[in-house]
Amino acid sequence: MIIYNTLTKKQEEIIPINAGIINMYTCGPTVYHYAHIGNLRTYISEDVLEKGLNFLGYKVNRVMNITDVGHLVGDGDSGEDKMLVASEREHKSAYEIADYYTKAFKDDCQKLNIKWPDTVSKATDNIEEYIKIITKLLETGYAYISAGNVYFDTTKFPNYYELSGRNADDLMVAVREDIKDDEAKKNPFDFGLWFTNSKFNNQEMQWDSPWGRGYPGWHIECSGIAMKYLGERLDIHCGAEDAIFPHHTNEIAQSESYLGHKWCNYWVHMGFLNDLNGKMSKSSGEFLTVSLLEEKGYDPLAYRYLCLNSYYHNSLTFSYDILDGAKNAYTKLLNKTKTLKDEGTLENYESYIDKFKDAINNDLNTSMMVTLVYDVLKDDNLSGKTKRYLINEFDKVLSLDLLKAQDNTIDLELKAYIEEKIALRNEAKQNKDYQLSDQIRDELLAKGIKLVDTREGTSFEIIK
Ligand SMILES: [Zn+2]
């Protein structure tokens, strides 16, 4: 598979360290608030990447962290811990805040058909990992203690600017606002590995360490969790574009200084969600969440459809007009896929599977994957059975519920009623009571429910 690697600034073939297996780490959310749909775009892209790799036959070992401590308001260690701000805002403990917003994030992922990664680990569950790494960084001179805190000395790591591809002066201008107010640092880009009471004495989440009671910095959490679960070498590390500096830059610096060798081969970054005026965030304009979209009558999967129609690496512009366009297109698409009849023979599907793999291979070309769904629908040479087969295969990656749509549109009570009738009819057929079995079929048909018998069993269609 070809992917754009931020580290080398070019598209490259992914060659896994262990054949057939991909070790993939994705930065998780800081659980101090609901996720913005712009954040969720990153998780949608990562989900498609994982499923795309699966489709190509790779086993993916994916790990994600949940940041529930140590992420300060300013990325350059300024301001308070975001969890603390939330706990003051909502008069709850930091642990309650973390539980609540972790659940909210999980619900959002479910609504957007984002698979929950196999391994998800909370930052607060891995304190001993960070202490182990920081201890060695102090011993080897990569870290120093100042004003009671432990900092990483960025001047000791020669490749510090490789990932961002920007020089110190340039970065200084970009992050000036963030880095100015921690005078304990020797160099402006040095970052906190461990903070003690000297930083904030009202921090609720604290642990004992060789450097005093305190808590870890945000960056060390991802390095610690990634190494704990995926070992010393990563194939792919993903995240949002704005994590390149300082977060991922700092992860590389501390991990490679600790390990003494290269840590991760491919760095994959997801573009921003912009509005018509520029980058969207929690602080600008309306706070766009999945729940808000639902309240306004949008299926969350219409948003997923919108995201899939753009290249993950580019910025995507959001407006309600654009979302309306995606919603209409997605609804029309569902109307076509859900009326596909399971008839004819399964044949001539191989070339479409190849084209779909090509789209994945080509730097995760999701809009091409969506186009292939339309191509299949339009192709008169394919039987209904083949079309359904192909769309079902594609949807393993796209996860747009293209064939499940019919079930979603009827209420659960009706569905349970029909399934009960189908079971009764099966029983009648088994007892060779064909009169009863036909009677059940006709009863349902009179109610606008048509039963369809296939080799796999009986399904149903709502026909009026
Ligand atoms: Zn991270």
- Residues around the ion ligand 1 (C-beta < 5 A): 27, 222
Q: Which of 291, 275, 294 is nearest to 283 (CA)?
A: 275
CA 57 to centroid of ligand 1, rounded, Å: 27
Q: How far from chain centre, in Å, is Cα 79? A: 27
Give the separation between CA 446 and CA 439, rounded to whole angstroms. Answer: 11
CA 3 to centroid of ligand 1, rounded, Å: 20
CA distances 75 to 35, 82, 200, 240, 286, Å, are 18, 11, 16, 14, 23
Alpha helices, H only, 379-411? 384-398, 405-409
Interhelix angle 384-398/366-378, rounded to 10 degrees, is: 170
Give the separation between CA 458 and CA 419, rounded to whole angstroms. Answer: 9
Q: What contacts 304, CB < 8 A, 6 or more positions away?
A: 44, 112, 113, 399, 400
CA 60 to centroid of ligand 1, rounded, Å: 18
CA 120 to centroid of ligand 1, rounded, Å: 13
pLDDT of residue 27: 96
pLDDT of residue 458: 85
Q: Using only the alpha carbons of the chain, give its radius of gyration.
A: 26
pLDDT of residue 461: 81
CA distances 321 to 276, 309, 317, 366, 463, Å, are 11, 15, 11, 21, 32
Predicted TM-score (pTM) above 0.95 = no
Q: How far from chain centre, in Å, is Cα 113? A: 10
CB atoms within 10 A of CB 178: 18
Give the separation between CA 107 and CA 296, rounded to whole angstroms. Answer: 18
Give the separation between CA 31 and CA 284, rounded to whole angstroms. Answer: 19
What digits encode the pLDDT tens for the residues 418-428?
A: 988 999 999 99
CA 321 to centroid of ligand 1, rounded, Å: 33
Q: Where are the domains of the chain?
A: 2-270, 278-406, 410-462
Q: Which of 113, 135, 60 is nearest to 395 (CA)?
A: 113
**Tens place of pLDDT per residue across the chain (464 aa):** 999 999 999 999 999 999 999 999 999 999 999 999 999 999 999 999 999 999 999 999 999 999 988 777 776 677 778 888 888 888 888 889 899 999 999 999 999 999 999 999 999 999 999 999 999 999 999 999 998 899 999 999 999 999 999 888 888 876 665 555 678 889 889 999 999 866 666 677 889 999 999 999 999 999 999 999 999 999 999 999 999 999 999 999 999 999 999 999 999 999 999 988 777 765 666 789 999 999 999 999 999 999 999 999 999 999 999 999 999 999 999 999 988 999 999 999 999 999 999 999 999 999 999 999 999 999 999 999 999 999 999 999 999 999 985 545 566 778 888 988 999 999 999 999 999 999 999 999 988 888 988 776 888 887 76
Give the separation between CA 423 and CA 425, rounded to whole angstroms. Answer: 5
State the architecture of 278-406 in CATH terms. Answer: Up-down Bundle (1.20)
CA distances 76 to 142, 146, 170, 219, Å, are 18, 16, 15, 11
pLDDT of residue 55: 98
Q: Which of 372, 359, 389, 390 is nearest to 52 (CA)?
A: 359
CA 243 to centroid of ligand 1, rounded, Å: 8
Across 67-217, where does the E strand assignment appear? Answer: 72-74, 78-81, 119-122, 143-146, 149-152, 191-196, 214-216
Instruction: Look at domain 2-270 and name its CATH class.
Output: alpha beta
CA distances 227 to 16, 22, 195, 231, 325, Å, are 17, 14, 21, 5, 43
Give the separation between CA 239 and CA 267, rounded to whole angstroms. Answer: 8
Task: Please state the φ and ψ torsions of residue 194, each to the nearest 5 degrees.
Answer: -150, 125
CA 28 to centroid of ligand 1, rounded, Å: 7
